[in-house]
């Protein structure tokens, strides 16, 4: 009885060891008598105890690997330290089991050597500028070499690039000098622009003043022209009115009387404005002066 009980216990243990529950996003490799047999998919699986065994277990999730810090020499012979992060994923569990001993270790070592080779093709300044180029170079190199490893490099990111202390100090000095240079250039450009603005303002002031003077003279000339035109029109109207009046009855006598009156008054005003007066010989004869004025009027009338 005890022997039967012991046999049953051993049988249960053997059967239990043959039941395998594979988690999601994992792939287990089964070997039968030391030879690859099949892949266990996620879920409940059964294997033959003793004859079969799970030789490898792989996760199909994307895995993050630290690429340790190492040194490299740039194209201009500057030694730098760098490290990074590698993102890989197993896409073929069989090749990952039998194509390489440790696919993750192989990928990190290949990333280091590829990074060292890529940095050696660039100068120090371009090393900081071409991070995306370096990342792409490493990804391509790993995927090309790991085609038989069952592993795929999704991306690589450079985390730090550290130049020597003296080189770093020189770079900081160069950056400070460049910033000072840009500040001086901006300041000089500001002064130049200010001088240009002042000159442009003076130029516009002179132009506006000249335009104002020209406008003032034009307005004054137009005013004088208008005034002369108005005086001429008034004079013409007056002459026309006088001419019309002379044609009326008694017009000639009235004009004669007016001219004689103005003739006499002219001599009177002339004596008030100057000390030297040239007068006709018959100034005492008022009737003679009037006759002389009328004769002058008649003479002008006859010519007209």
pLDDT tier at 266, thresholds 50, 70, 90 = low
The phi and psi torsions of 162 (rounded to 5 degrees) equal -115, 110
pLDDT tens figures, 132-175: 888 888 899 888 888 888 899 999 988 888 887 776 676 667 77
- Which two tokens mark 13? 């243990």
pLDDT tens figures, 234-258: 877 777 776 666 666 665 666 665 6
- pLDDT value at 130 more than 60: yes
pLDDT tier at 226, thresholds 50, 70, 90 = confident
How many Å apart are CA 236 and CA 238, to the nearest integer? 5
- pLDDT value at 218 more than 70: yes
CB-based burial, 61-90: b 16+ in 10 Å, e otherwise: eebebebeeeebebeeebebebbbebbbeb
- Looking at the DSSP bridge assignments, the partners of residue 63 are 88
How many Å apart are CA 149 and CA 103, to the nearest integer? 6
Q: What is the pLDDT of residue 100?
A: 85
Higher pLDDT: 271 or 225? It is 225
Higher pLDDT: 173 or 188? It is 188
Q: What is the pLDDT of residue 279?
A: 54
Q: Are residues 160 and 72 in contact, defined by beta-carbon separation less than 8 angstroms?
A: no
Q: Are residues 46 and 34 in contact, defined by beta-carbon separation less than 8 angstroms?
A: no
Residue appearing with tokens 């892949």: 39
- pLDDT value at 270 more than 90: no
* DSSP secondary structure code for residue 89 in this structure: E
Q: What is the pLDDT of residue 242?
A: 65
pLDDT tens figures, 274-299: 555 555 555 555 555 556 655 655 66
Q: What is the pLDDT of residue 88?
A: 92
How many Å apart are CA 129 and CA 228, to the nearest integer? 83
pTM above 0.85, yes or no: no
pLDDT tier at 85, thresholds 50, 70, 90 = very high
- Which two tokens mark 206? 């002179």
111, 135, 109: which is closest to 122 by C-alpha? Answer: 135
* Mean per-residue pLDDT, 118-135: 84
Q: What is the pLDDT of residue 240?
A: 76
């Amino acid at each position: 009885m005890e022997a039967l009980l012991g046999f049953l216990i051993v049988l249960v243990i053997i059967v239990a060891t043959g039941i395998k529950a594979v988690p999601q996003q994992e792939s287990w490799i089964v070997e039968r008598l030391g030879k690859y047999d099949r892949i266990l998919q996620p879920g409940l699986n059964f294997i033959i105890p003793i004859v079969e065994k799970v030789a490898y277990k792989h996760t199909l999730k994307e895995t993050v690997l630290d690429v340790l810090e190492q040194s490299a020499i740039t194209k201009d012979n500057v030694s730098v330290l760098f490290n990074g992060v590698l993102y890989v994923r197993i896409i073929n569990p069989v090749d990952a089991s039998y194509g390489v001993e440790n696919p993750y270790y192989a990928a990190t070592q290949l990333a280091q050597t590829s990074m060292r080779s890529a940095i050696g093709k660039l100068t120090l300044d371009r090393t900081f500028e071409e991070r995306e180029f370096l990342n792409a170079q490493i990804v391509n190199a790993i995927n090309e070499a790991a085609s038989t490893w069952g592993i795929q490099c999704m991306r690589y990111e450079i985390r730090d690039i550290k130049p020597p202390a003296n080189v770093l100090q020189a770079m900081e000095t160069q950056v400070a000098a460049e910033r000072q240079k840009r500040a001086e250039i901006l300041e000089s450009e500001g002064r130049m622009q200010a001088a240009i603005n002042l000159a442009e303002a003076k130029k516009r002031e002179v132009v506006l003043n000249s335009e104002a003077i020209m406008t003032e003279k034009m307005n004054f000339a137009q005013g004088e022209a208008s005034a002369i035109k108005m005086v001429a029109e008034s004079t013409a109207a007056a002459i026309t009115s006088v001419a019309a009046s002379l044609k009326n009855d008694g017009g000639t006598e009235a004009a004669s009387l007016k001219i004689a009156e103005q003739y006499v008054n002219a001599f009177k005003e002339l004596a008030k404005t100057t000390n030297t007066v040239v007068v006709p010989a018959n100034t005492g004869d008022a009737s003679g002066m009037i006759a002389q004025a009328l004769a002058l009027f008649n003479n002008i009338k006859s010519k007209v």
